[in-house]
Structure 1
């Protein structure tokens, strides 16, 4: 038996990475981390330090004798990204990514197509499986805070072909998000009667702001997102308070509203028969996925977090509850204040602020001044989502190069001494230039197809996260390991991930039905691909990769999965002691305190 084979055999027994022992691997990763703590040299001029900061951080070569999976695990574990994000940044990054045009504007389309009850059903069911997705992602992100986050987990724990297809879908959707959001912002300013010829000027302004923020590195991104999200959350809370007052009859018109919008002639649902109502409710799920999209950013940011073991579990649970409350309460009030038959909900596009149910609710009930303020917040929301899109997609590109899903000659994994993926940011800047189509007559067509590229991709991404969590738990069991060695075990467990996978699969299947046979519209190719384009793209890439690699396995066998490389905590025995001590301390608390720790 060769020395390499002997070392791989030893890996099964000792549960450390083959070739490198746990101590050696930790030392080499720490060597990379020490390079990250780059500071300007007092012996150099300011210009020299500025130029020096853009130089690439070099890391050691990977042992060529390792397998592809082993190389990927090491590369993504030691990528030289800065660890500057704190818990408050993580909280706001996830909230900021999820509270955007999907809530402020897109919810109006959902209300028009399904009625107030249909909106609540779709968003509530979506919230239940998103809880399971985020908890499973939190468990993986705490154990493996690696480059690319969930973009890496699908390749590592499911199958290379699945990861390849999923990552390319994330890449296509990500590079579409930036121009999509900037075009949205340019449409939003139409609320104040801005001439269309000035749209490119607004695109240029938003373009410079978003790219400038990301050039300040992860710390600049975190601070900007913290500010953006604080503004959005304040707006939603303010609307909830005002909405309750209006529903109770405390508005300028002094009329009690209550549940009148749910009664005839408006009604709680759209459609006359049960089948028609069911079909309209199904259409809400894709809109809800687009609106909730961004909550998974906690997993993407794990590699750049100071203490993922402490920050990510709280962020994963608290962010879910905050967003669910914001959405469910706000949309309940929207359904009470705005009729789903209101013609203003149609708007000129899915980014038209005049079609925002938040703006319509305030205008309809005699509130002056605040509609313009909400419109400003919508512009900030658009910037925030575009900002999060650059952050997530640039890190995805780095991971894709490390995993071999993008060619090395692209240098998209270039990370400078300040931890910025410069080449990836440059690619995002190039694709962002598509947004200058805003002043063109073809703007609406471009916007529609950019939106189509991001449609189902969020649901497919969430399915991959939950499936990766299921496979990770299967690997623990197959290799004689237990959840007692985990820093954070998902409160919803592996059954929660099974639930989310099942519900998402059902939604994707039913969406195929509603896309092929839309409500009140004859079947047509255009409508089908506008809502279902992401699914065939995923299948084509997945099957194509299977054929190219001649890899016919659906899953990597659980016994062969590497569940050690890339872990932030390398001393498993000490970790078990620490976790047991923490649990013992929590057990001494009151029931309310213990329940809060479990919930939040």
Structure 2
């Protein structure tokens, strides 16, 4: 037996027999054969004498699957709580499907019914076009910053860097609270959707099933979230694509009744229901239906940043095809006077279901309802993902206690997941007589969160661009440049402000008027309670910040904003050469090829 083999054999036996001996561990560290086999060192340096006999060199010892699951919840082995412990396991296909189908949910399938009833088909097109155009500017601006600074939490982090810690704290807190209360609402909605098929089963049973399903998906880590969203989004995309084709056939008279619909309902009852107020009302609904679009960039800490640009560009096509085209066709098939559009928020009020029913197509309503159920579960899944990553980001910015940033060995922001899961238990109030009233006020707390978050993203991008200009930095340093530039963010900021004004107007002078003065006061405070809470949070954090730092205002001058910390390391010369070659290539291509590469 040669010397090397003797040393290896002795070292394994020695470590196995005396695992607690520091001398034996030092012996292993000094063995050159072990130094050349890192897998072997990592495996055997953690073995104990109770784990059974040693296994062959280069292989991992057998471990109980339950023990591995338990160990995955422990802190990282290096003892750090850095966000780098998040696993970068989201792939390009996950991001693209999240971008395309991520925000396709109840806002489109059910909320559009209320919008159609209050505004009419033309108002629906105008409202979603305006809201959609601003989200394109918002997501491109956010994408530009995210690709340069791929950090967990994305906009929660950028608000601190480019705006003010207190603003960041307010925006992040309201964003998290929003998802805290959306989760139980979505679980309840899922239980109610199932009653379309069977009303005999207690809804609490379905609440329990959906709650466990959503929490379990997120406990599988970001890969579990990504795979679930990939499947959910694929189903939604296929369904809407099929629905669009069906609508075209029905409008042309190819349905079971063989009745040509055409533009009949645009003439009678008409294309506008309540004039300008109707358009404002639709804009508010449309903006909330697009909520969650920022989720693509929120995952930047768990994916390769180079995959983000293509995913960000898909937002344009999602809004154009899945929102504008589908809702335009629905407006041709369902008159805004249809009584089923009003009076509730169940699947029976979905214009997609109504369009199929009034044209006497069997089976399909159940299929659409099943897709609505999947969409609701998708939103619930996103609730835990978004809130947990934002809490983690806030902890690492010292905006929250450090333990909110706890990331386990599996790369899960565990405390964030558990925190939102606890709020999900509110779904078991489904049988409470006052449940609806309670949740109306809970959601009022975060009622304006979506637009406020988008507005903070717009201003962050504007200051990012101005800081680059003030410091003499070139856009050629950026791997991804917003297709709509700084003016796209300016436009989006203006539109977001207009949506907030529209919300204020509608809350004071709603379409259809008020039942009484008490109802008027209640609805107004529900609409703008969020603004009051935001001001209180901002003042509270300002006082805390002043006591900690002695400063009131923390806006960093443009010339002093740090444009390097946390950015992705790239070779600028190589990047400039790649950009130049790409421009030369596209310059020689036809216009439609250039258009495709610009938006895809």
With the length of structure 1 as denominator, give the TM-score of the two structures: 0.85
Deviation of 1:282 after TM superposition, in Å, equals 0.8
Deviation of 1:568 after TM superposition, in Å, equals 1.9
Contact 1:175 1:431 in 2 (8 A): yes
Deviation of 1:44 after TM superposition, in Å, equals 5.1
Contact 1:96 1:294 in 2 (8 A): no
- The aligned counterpart of 2:283 is 285
- The aligned counterpart of 1:249 is 253
Provide the aligned C-alpha RMSD in A: 2.3
- The aligned counterpart of 1:26 is none
- The aligned counterpart of 2:478 is 486
Contact 1:286 1:455 in 2 (8 A): no
Please tell me whether residue 268 in structure 1 is matched to residue 268 in structure 2: no
Give 1:379-528 correspondences, 5 Å limit.
379-408=373-402, 411-522=403-514, 524-528=520-524
Q: 1:55 to 1:579 in 2, by over 3 A?
A: farther
- The aligned counterpart of 2:532 is 536
Please tell me whether residue 194 in structure 1 is matched to residue 199 in structure 2: yes
Distance in 2 separating the partners of 1:60 and 1:188? 45
Contact 1:95 1:295 in 2 (8 A): no
Q: 1:145 to 1:381 in 2, by over 3 A?
A: same
- The aligned counterpart of 1:294 is 292
SS of alignment partner, residue 477 of structure 1: helix
SS of alignment partner, residue 79 of structure 1: helix
Deviation of 1:582 after TM superposition, in Å, equals 3.9
- The aligned counterpart of 1:343 is 339
Q: 1:58 to 1:549 in 2, by over 3 A?
A: farther
Deviation of 1:56 after TM superposition, in Å, equals 1.3
Distance in 1 separating the partners of 2:117 and 2:592? 41
Residue deviations 1:495-537, cap 9 Å, x none?
A: 1101100111122123212212222324622111333333322
Residue deviations 1:126-176, cap 9 Å, x none?
A: 111111011111101111110111221111111111111100111110111
Q: Which of these residues, 104, 109, 113, is aligned with residue 104 of structure 1?
A: 109
- The aligned counterpart of 1:80 is 85
Contact 1:98 1:323 in 2 (8 A): no
- The aligned counterpart of 2:357 is 363
CA radius of gyration, larger in: 2
Q: Which one is further off, 569-578 or 133-142?
A: 569-578
Distance in 1 separating the partners of 2:332 and 2:146? 39
Deviation of 1:434 after TM superposition, in Å, equals 0.5
Distance in 2 separating the partners of 1:193 and 1:214? 28
SS of alignment partner, residue 249 of structure 1: coil
Q: Which of these residues, 142, 151, 158, is aligned with residue 147 of structure 2?
A: 142
Give 1:576-587 correspondences, 5 Å limit.
576-587=576-587
Distance in 1 separating the partners of 2:190 and 2:444? 18
Give 1:84-163 correspondences, 5 Å limit.
84-163=89-168
Contact 1:95 1:294 in 2 (8 A): no
Please tell me whether residue 50 in structure 1 is matched to residue 69 in structure 2: yes
Aligned residue pair count: 538
Distance in 1 separating the partners of 2:132 and 2:280? 15
SS of alignment partner, residue 235 of structure 2: helix
- The aligned counterpart of 1:564 is 564
SS of alignment partner, residue 533 of structure 1: helix
Distance in 2 separating the partners of 1:119 and 1:554? 41
Q: Which of these residues, 305, 308, 313, is aligned with residue 312 of structure 1?
A: 308
Residue deviations 1:217-238, cap 9 Å, x none?
A: 1111111110001111111111
SS of alignment partner, residue 314 of structure 2: helix
Deviation of 1:322 after TM superposition, in Å, equals 2.2
Deviation of 1:574 after TM superposition, in Å, equals 4.0
Deviation of 1:584 after TM superposition, in Å, equals 4.0
Distance in 1 separating the partners of 2:343 and 2:375? 19
Contact 2:392 2:416 in 1 (8 A): yes
Q: 1:102 to 1:450 in 2, by over 3 A?
A: farther
Q: Which one is further off, 563-572 or 290-299?
A: 563-572
SS of alignment partner, residue 233 of structure 1: helix
Distance in 2 separating the partners of 1:368 and 1:262? 26
Deviation of 1:594 after TM superposition, in Å, equals 2.5
Contact 1:173 1:457 in 2 (8 A): yes
Q: Which runs of 5+ in 2 are unaligned?
A: 1-37, 47-58
Residue deviations 1:33-52, cap 9 Å, x none?
A: x9xxx999812513443333
Deviation of 1:292 after TM superposition, in Å, equals 0.8
Distance in 2 separating the partners of 1:167 and 1:243? 40
Contact 2:333 2:355 in 1 (8 A): yes
Q: Which of these residues, 296, 318, 324, is aligned with residue 322 of structure 1?
A: 318
Contact 2:316 2:599 in 1 (8 A): no
Contact 1:394 1:421 in 2 (8 A): yes
Residue deviations 1:75-117, cap 9 Å, x none?
A: 98x5321111111100112233310001111110111111111
Distance in 2 separating the partners of 1:346 and 1:449? 21
Distance in 2 separating the partners of 1:194 and 1:559? 63
Deviation of 1:450 after TM superposition, in Å, equals 4.1
Please tell me whether residue 555 in structure 1 is matched to residue 555 in structure 2: yes
Distance in 2 separating the partners of 1:240 and 1:403? 45
SS of alignment partner, residue 84 of structure 2: coil
SS of alignment partner, residue 489 of structure 1: coil
SS of alignment partner, residue 102 of structure 2: helix
